Amino acid sequence: MKKTLLVLLFLASILLFSLSPITPAYSADKVVKIGGVYPLTGYLSWLGEYYKKAAILQVDLINKAGGVADYKLELVSYDDQSSPEEGTRAALRLIQSDKVVAITGTATAAITGAVSSIANKYKVPAVMSSGYDLRPDKEPFTFNTAHPTFFAVARPFMYLKKQGISKVGLLMPIGSLGEIGTANAQKAASQYGLTIVAEEKFDIKSPDVTAQLAKLRASNPEAIFSFVTGEPAALVARNMQQLKLDIPLIVSHGNATPGFLKLTSGLTTVKLVVPSGEIMAPDSLSATDPNKAIIREFNKLHMERYQEPANYFSGLLSDAVLLVVQGIRISGSVDPEKIRDGIEKIKSFPAIGGVYNMSPTDHYGTRIEDMIVLTIKDGKWQLIQ
């Protein structure tokens, strides 16, 4: 009943967004600034565009519903240029010059780490949305709306187990990303009774991985896991099809975007398995899902504003804004340190990525059950579990 009531209250506020005109509940001269550090140029610009669109939409919706605690929200964002150094400069500018009460963003562990360092130094909450592994004891002002990396690996391994698949081959990029993928795969395999039969590595810039796939095939894997995103993930899939290696291919949750559909166009025999947030399948969720109505409404509003559906990353950034606002509501303050305390007290809060339950030791707040598994069929995303 409690979850149902929370969903209904959230939906009531969402419905208010579409009512126009509306009398603002905030004072005209009271503005609270939320910062954004997004990769709008550079190799991650495709992601930054999703982040900024979602942030703008969510801030507008909150303001149309009356703002928060007598304040109008203002989003101030800068381009980190897909660089940790620029991310550091952007975070400093937001805190020192723009006087934001919180920061949202960004992409990759390296950039997130740079922004997190600044936020914790100046005691300003940073609600990040990336694959950065949090340590609340070391970074008390940092939160993360992205599901923990282990969830994104374990969720498809759960799917494999239910399909009766027990042998997995690893094809990992050389470097820290591959090391993270391997470590989490080993942990997930142990937890769900799967066996890692072999592992090969490749240069992320390589134009071909057929040699590595051929070696893996010799170990008779029943599925392959490659912790990569974008073109490298599509390359692995294409090479598997060329080798007629017709077994499931698990790739990173970073591929849960419209762009990946284009990259994998033409694939017919390889079954891609992509972990994601529920926002990627708004019409396929169970009627009893506590987030279904919220997700469908946000996706509808996103379509109306941008003429494209929301995606996994849209949901992450939307939730970042919502968590900051909820922190303000709980604390009754726009003081950054009190907002941090408020975010940490969030309980049973339904949003896009799940029902959030924060604590001093959990700055993610989501569960593995908040993730789903997708595949691609006829050029469209399809829920498979």
CATH of the domain at 296: 3.40.50.2300
Indicate the SS3 state at residue 81.
coil
Shared domain check, 379 and 230: yes
Distance CA 140, CA 361 (A): 9
8 A C-beta contact, residue 11 and residue 291: no
Task: Tell how many helices (H) and how many strands (E) occur in the chain.
Answer: 12, 14
Do 273 and 155 lie in one domain? The reply is yes
Asked whether residue 155 falls in the same domain as residue 133, the answer is no
The structural domain count of the chain equals 2
- 165 and 273 in a single domain? The answer is yes
One domain, residues 182 and 211: yes
Among the listed residues 256, 302, 244, the one whose alpha carbon sits nearest the alpha carbon of residue 280: 256
**43 and 106 inside one domain:** yes
d(CA 226, CA 185) in angstroms, rounded, equals: 10
Rg of the chain's alpha carbons, rounded to an integer? 21
Instruction: Provide the CA 5 distance to its chain's centre, in angstroms.
Output: 26
* pLDDT score, position 358: 98
- Global pTM reads 0.87
Q: Could you read off the pLDDT tens digit of each residue along the chain, which spans 385 residues?
A: 545 555 544 554 444 444 334 445 666 679 999 999 999 999 889 889 999 999 999 999 999 999 999 999 999 999 999 999 999 999 999 999 999 999 999 988 899 999 999 999 999 999 999 988 899 999 999 999 999 999 999 999 999 999 999 999 999 999 988 999 999 999 999 999 999 999 999 998 899 999 999 999 999 999 999 999 889 999 999 999 999 999 999 999 989 888 888 888 888 888 999 999 999 988 888 888 889 988 999 999 999 999 999 999 999 999 999 999 999 999 999 999 999 999 999 999 999 999 999 999 999 999 999 999 999 988 889 999 7
Are residues 187 and 248 both part of a single domain? yes
117 and 228, same domain (yes or no): no
Q: Are residues 190 and 263 in the same domain?
A: yes
Domain span at 263: 149-278+371-383
* CA contacts within 13 A on the Cβ side of 8: 5
| 158 and 241 together in one domain | yes
Question: Cα(40)–Cα(157) distance, rounded to whole angstroms?
Answer: 33
How big is the chain, counted in residues? 385
Task: Report the largest interatomic distance among the alpha carbons of the chain, rounded to a whole angstrom.
Answer: 69
* pLDDT recorded at residue 21: 42
Cα separation, 207 vs 184, in Å, equals 26
**DSSP label at 67?**
-
Same domain? For 140 and 184 the reply is no
Return d(Cα 145, Cα 126) in angstroms, integer: 11
Domain identity same for 164 and 295:
no
The phi, psi pair for 167, rounded to 5°, reads -115, 125
Q: How many alpha carbons lie under 13 Å from residue 186 in its C-beta half-sphere?
A: 9
- pLDDT, one tens digit per residue, over 29-47 is 799 999 999 999 998 898 8
Please identify which residue in the block is written with the tokens 């995303």.
381
